[in-house]
Chains A and B, each alone.
Chain A
């Protein structure tokens, strides 16, 4: 399956990795909502939670699956994008095909690029700094990731960057979640409808949940 060039197989992999990444979003949001606790409590709890994650062998394993999913999802997107470009031939001089579909369903690639660029920044600023950078410690002796996050979200442009990227993610999910289920073969009319509604709810909750964190910190935690 990994090396099969067939587009349907590639789409299956896109769907599976996409759904795993979507599932991860729930866990990531749930963990990061601890940032919204009162400052002192949040600092200690968030830092000890971060250390707990870093030290757990199961979490480490899941983290490697997560990195693999991001890479496979990205490579497949590029591969399918090239294939679709080849299949398209010359473009239309007058093209109004867009009236028949939602804009975000046609621009999953562009939304994906925004998310990817954001991920590079996100990984560099938090993941890389936490894992490989020099970090001050809190009173419990844990690396003070909390302060790093709060300091980062003092900058308005940084908060705006997050909001833009998360909105792109929201639209990506809006189309991705339900269409992934169809790619994998869910064709029952009733269940496809239910999955579509759940997909919309999921996308909306994730978008607002993730936007809440930087905005809340920017507005309340002036250092």
Chain B
């Protein structure tokens, strides 16, 4: 396959970026999108040019590290996939592909296609955990959890934190990411106890990081690699309102 690439190149967060055109020949349709970028980078290194920087890690679709805008869609044309699980067979020979980093004020560009998603970590650090006493692991069956409860919590826990929800949102809202964690912990007896405090501090942190509001366009769920439900956001709102209304 012959592929024409328009890749966003930017030296650092301060400098002005722009598109640079590259042409790749002999691209195999069985390559993953990231392997195609590897192929480009090998050629660039051989020519003595700076390779295109992008985030990646497991390349199995589970770590949440990779993620770029491909032809204006987070993680490319397939729904519910990560960039690493997108293959060149999804494109046609002779296609022009625009590759841009995720753009949001809370995701400053580090270099090229690499963005700083620490803001998501700050949200988790503000309350996305269960406070436990240190010591031996407690007996697993001392707190009963039904299978349905565990499955429902796991559906929310499936979020890999890639940031595609933010990139796909017209308001750059991190509501899906934040609510997935709140919802997961609220559905389990271990996490539920701290929900009122957790939801307020996580929502406030989300606000502080500069993310926008949720207007339920549902675009985030469509582009989410894990198909996390937007109803988690409604649950976050419910828990937040409840916590604020019952505040003593």
Residues of A within 8 A of B (CB): 6-12, 80, 83-84, 86-97, 99-102, 105-106, 108, 175, 178-179, 182-187, 189, 192
Contact = CB atoms under 8 A, between A and B. Distances in A.
B172 A89 contact: yes
Given A92-B100, A94-B100, A87 B218 contact: no
A106 B104 contact: no
A7 B100 contact: no
B120 interface: no
Nearest to B19: A93
Contacts of A83: 171, 212-213
A101 B222 contact: yes
Contacts of A192: 231, 234
A94 B72 contact: yes
A86 B213 CA distance: 11
Contact of A91 (B103, B214, B239): B103
A183 B216 CA distance: 8
14 contacts: A8-B213, A83-B213, A87-B211, A89-B103, A93-B98, A96-B72, A97-B219, A100-B223, A101-B218, A102-B217, A182-B233, A185-B235, A185-B237, A186-B234
B215 interface: yes
Contact of B212 (A7, A102, A185, A187): A7
Given A88-B104, A185-B241, A7 B213 contact: yes
Contact of A185 (B173, B230, B234): B234
A84 B171 contact: yes
Contacts of B239: 185
Interface of B: 6, 8, 19, 69, 71-74, 98, 100, 103-107, 167-168, 170-173, 203-204, 207, 210-220, 222-223, 230-235, 237-242, 244
Given A84-B212, A100-B223, A185 B242 contact: yes
Given A185-B241, A186-B234, A192-B234, A84 B172 contact: yes
A10 B100 CA distance: 32
Contacts of A80: 171, 212-213
Nearest to A86: B105
Nearest to A183: B237
B52 to A, nearest CB: 16
B101 to A, nearest CB: 10
A108 B215 contact: yes
Contact of B173 (A9, A87, A92, A186): A87
B216 A97 contact: no
Contacts of B19: 93
B215 A184 contact: no
Contacts of A106: 170, 217
B213 A10 contact: yes
Contacts of A89: 103-105, 107, 172
Given A97-B223, A99-B222, A100-B218, 14 more contacts: A11-B237, A80-B213, A86-B105, A92-B72, A93-B19, A100-B219, A105-B218, A182-B216, A182-B230, A182-B233, A182-B234, A183-B216, A185-B235, A187-B235
A145 B173 CA distance: 47
A12 B203 CA distance: 14
Nearest to B105: A89
A94 B98 contact: yes
B231 A100 contact: no
Contacts of B107: 89
A196 to B, nearest CB: 10
Contact of A97 (B73, B233, B237): B73
Contacts of A183: 214, 216, 234, 237
A99 B213 contact: no
Contacts of A92: 69, 72, 100, 103
A150 to B, nearest CB: 39
